[in-house]
């Protein structure tokens, strides 16, 4: 099997090939490294490639398998966004202000290794993940494999480019305002932001307070479910933890849901943003497919609350807390220094007020699911055995993922904080609300636009209900498969 075929198989199939002895972990890792060497110079997906360490880890996985060991990710190369600690490497957060390697893996990385994964390298991101464009003064532009003149989105753009181009089968990202879903949409991938607290942020108690989550970008829904089964669960010190899932997400994906009530709306949650017509058409076409699959799909007009007062203090406070750990603060980008000046206006007490405000806003936003008289936790349990369709609200909400087509690279050139924020609004107009509320939400591929770049829609679920999001995404994947699509730079 050629390198490209191996890398485009995805992690579930790669793990099966290793488990059955058809491919070794070393063969997989060498294939990944060769493709990185061949294609990454034109993409800039990786901040650092851990070639020697990865090969040694792959050899250890092969030896473990020969001794009878197993694991859901045994021998599978996976990349990690550069805000997550990898033992022995510098965690740069996308900048140049850190210099000292960390001693231990982040909890999410530790769980990947415990499941048998091989950590192949760390991927690029904008400084502290502030922007939905993967560009930084320290590491340059990350380019979209579908058109290298265009952005990957962000902030997990390096992870998205690496998976979309078949450099790895999956990569970890983080999502504090759309940073898994936005690059997934730009690069034609599946990207689920999990329920707040589903995946541990240890060694940090939180990621941007209540906003941030950790999770993978993958080619298929099954791969995402497999990785979340590995990653899920709290750790000591986590500030938030999700309600335990009632079933394995891999098992949920294999279970067809009953008839669901799905609302669809092209209305952005950010005022002043108008969605691109092709994104609206992609949403409506997806609604048609969902009706054909037997679901009750209806146009709705969600009463989105304005979450600025909750989001902005947590955003600024999150950047401040990460920047405080930097060794060379004088090397922070000009935009970041401007963010930190604004952050001084929001002391810790104001950030904690914003967290509580977000909880109140979540009650209002979740009325689309729970009905007007219910709080966000009071609707029926959902999942493969829950009897979907009961209760007073929707089971899922369908929207576009982003409002505009992926821009040309260089979006942040010369832009200060305010300009960067204004340029970011069309990218976060459908995603950031659900970081404030904590709901699971996924970007699902929906064909390609007239510019040749991917289209996507967002599925938002009830709180703590990743299972239903994954089930319906799997139905869409079966109805209009996307995983075999390969971008020109692949």
pLDDT value at residue 376: 36
Name residue, tokens 């599946």: 190
The partner residues of 47 in beta bridges, in order of sequence, read none
Neighbours of 323 (CB within 10 A): 20
Bridge partners, 454 (sequence order) = 448
Token reading at 346:
């929001």
Nearest to 284 by CA among 462, 470, 459, 457: 457
Taking CA atoms, 225 is separated from 247, 316, 324, in Å, by 11, 32, 35
**Cα–Cα distance measured from residue 392 to residue 262, given in angstroms and rounded to the nearest whole number:** 12
Identify the pLDDT of residue 378. 34
The dihedral formed by the CA atoms of 194, 84, 343 and 407, expressed in degrees to the nearest 10: -70
Q: Which two tokens stand for residue 169?
A: 């089968």
Tracing tokens 């750990």 back to the chain, one arrives at: 325
What is the pTM (predicted TM-score) of this model? 0.95
Query: What does each of the 490 residues of the chain score in pLDDT, given as a tens digit?
Result: 899 999 999 999 999 999 999 999 999 999 999 999 999 999 999 999 999 999 999 999 999 999 999 999 999 999 999 999 999 999 999 999 999 999 999 999 999 999 999 999 999 999 999 999 999 999 999 999 999 999 999 999 999 999 999 999 999 999 999 999 999 999 999 999 999 999 999 999 999 999 999 999 999 999 999 999 999 999 999 999 999 988 899 999 999 999 999 999 999 999 999 999 999 999 999 999 999 999 999 999 999 999 999 999 999 999 999 999 999 999 999 999 999 999 999 999 999 999 999 999 999 999 999 876 333 333 333 333 333 333 358 999 999 999 999 999 999 999 999 999 999 999 999 999 999 999 999 999 999 999 999 999 999 999 999 999 999 999 999 999 999 999 999 9
Residue 90 structure tokens: 């510098």
Burial class (CB in 10 A: 0-12, 13-18, 19+), 52: exposed
What's the rounded Cα separation, in Å, for the pair 189 and 180? Answer: 10
Closest listed residue to residue 97, CA positions, set 318, 317, 316, 336: 336
Residues 60 and 65: their CA atoms lie apart, in Å, by 9
Residue 372's pLDDT is 60
- Residue 48: Cβ within 10 Å count: 15
**Catalytic annotation, pick one of 24, 32, 81, 232:** 81
Neighbours of 251 (CB within 10 A): 14
Task: Identify the H or E element spanning 58.
Answer: helix 51-66
Question: Does the annotation mark 42 as catalytic?
Answer: no
Is residue 95 within 8 A of residue 128, CB to CB? The reply is yes
Answer yes or no: are the C-beta atoms of 211 and 315 closer than 8 Å: yes
Distance CA(343)–CA(403), nearest Å, equals 28
Q: Which two tokens stand for residue 140?
A: 């340059």
How far apart CA 144 and CA 150 sit, in angstroms, is 6
* Active-site hit among 24, 32, 156, 179: 179
8-state DSSP, 242? P
H/E element, 104: none
179 classed as catalytic:
yes
φ/ψ of residue 149, rounded to 5: -85, -5
Q: Of the residues 155, 159, 265, 424, which is catalytic?
A: 155
Residues whose CB is less than 8 angstroms from the CB of residue 347 and which lie 6 or more positions away in sequence, other chains included: none
Quick one: the chain helix, strand, coil %, rounded to 5? 40, 15, 45
Give 188's Cβ-side CA count (13 Å radius). 23
Whether 58 contacts 164, CB under 8 Å: no
Q: 197: phi > 0 → left, psi -120 to 50 → alpha, else beta; which?
A: left
Report the C-alpha gap between 253 and 345 in whole angstroms. Answer: 45
Q: Kindly give the interhelix angle for 107-114 and 221-231, rounded to the nearest 10 degrees.
A: 110
Q: What domains sit in the chain, N to C, each tagged with a CATH number?
A: 3-479 (3.90.1300.10)
| Active site annotation includes 81 | yes
In the prediction, which pLDDT does 245 show? 86
Region of 121 (left: φ > 0; alpha: ψ -120 to 50; beta: rest) is left
Torsions phi, psi for 186 (to 5 deg):
-70, -25
Answer yes or no: are the C-beta atoms of 192 and 228 closer than 8 Å.
yes
């Amino acid at each position: 099997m050629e390198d490209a075929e191996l890398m485009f198989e995805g992690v579930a199939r790669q793990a099966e090939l290793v488990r059955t002895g058809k491919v070794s972990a070393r063969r997989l890792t060498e294939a990944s490294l060769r493709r990185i060497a061949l294609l990454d110079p034109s993409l800039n997906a990786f901040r650092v490639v851990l070639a020697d360490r990865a090969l040694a880890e792959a050899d250890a996985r092969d030896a473990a398998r020969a001794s009878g060991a197993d694991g859901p990710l045994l021998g599978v190369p996976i990349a990690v966004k550069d805000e997550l600690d990898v033992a022995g490497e510098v965690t740069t957060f996308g900048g140049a202000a850190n210099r000292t390697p960390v001693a231990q893996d982040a909890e999410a990385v530790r769980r990947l290794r415990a499941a048998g994964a091989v950590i192949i390298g760390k991927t690029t991101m904008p400084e502290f993940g502030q922007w939905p464009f993967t560009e930084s003064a320290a590491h340059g532009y990350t380019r979209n494999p579908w058109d290298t003149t265009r952005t990957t989105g962000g902030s997990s753009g390096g992870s998205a480019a690496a998976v979309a181009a078949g450099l790895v089968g999956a990569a970890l990202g983080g999502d504090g305002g759309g940073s898994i879903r936005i690059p997934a949409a730009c690069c034609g991938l599946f990207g689920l932001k999990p329920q707040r607290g589903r995946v541990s942020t240890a060694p940090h108690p939180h990621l941007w307070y209540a906003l941030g989550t950790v999770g993978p970008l993958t080619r298929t829904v099954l791969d995402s479910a497999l990785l979340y089964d590995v990653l899920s669960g709290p750790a000591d010190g986590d500030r938030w933890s999700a309600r335990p899932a009632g079933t394995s997400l891999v098992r949920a994906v294999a279970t067809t849901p009953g008839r669901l009530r799905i609302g669809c709306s092209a209305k952005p949650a950010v005022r002043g943003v108008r969605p691109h017509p092709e994104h609206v058409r992609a949403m409506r076409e997806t609604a048609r497919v969902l009706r054909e699959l037997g679901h009750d799909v209806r146009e709705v007009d969600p009463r989105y609350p304005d979450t600025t007062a909750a989001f902005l203090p947590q955003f600024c406070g999150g950047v401040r807390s990460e920047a405080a750990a930097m060794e060379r603060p004088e090397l922070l980008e000009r935009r970041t220094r401007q963010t930190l000046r604004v952050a001084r206006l929001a002391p810790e007490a104001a950030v904690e007020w914003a967290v509580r405000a977000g909880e109140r806003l979540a009650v209002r936003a979740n009325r689309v699911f729970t009905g007007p008289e219910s709080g966000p936790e009071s609707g029926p349990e959902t999942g493969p055995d829950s009897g979907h369709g009961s209760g007073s609200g929707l089971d899922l909400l369908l929207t576009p993922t982003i409002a505009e087509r992926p821009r040309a690279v260089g979006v942040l050139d010369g832009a200060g904080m305010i300009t960067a924020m204004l340029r970011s609004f069309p990218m976060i107009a459908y995603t950031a609300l659900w970081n404030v509320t904590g709901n699971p939400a996924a970007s699902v591929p929906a064909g390609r636009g007239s510019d040749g770049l991917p289209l996507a829609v967002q599925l938002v679920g009830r709180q703590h209900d990743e299972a239903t999001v994954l089930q319906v995404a799997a139905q869409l994947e079966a109805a209009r498969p996307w995983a075999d699509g390969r971008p020109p730079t692949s």
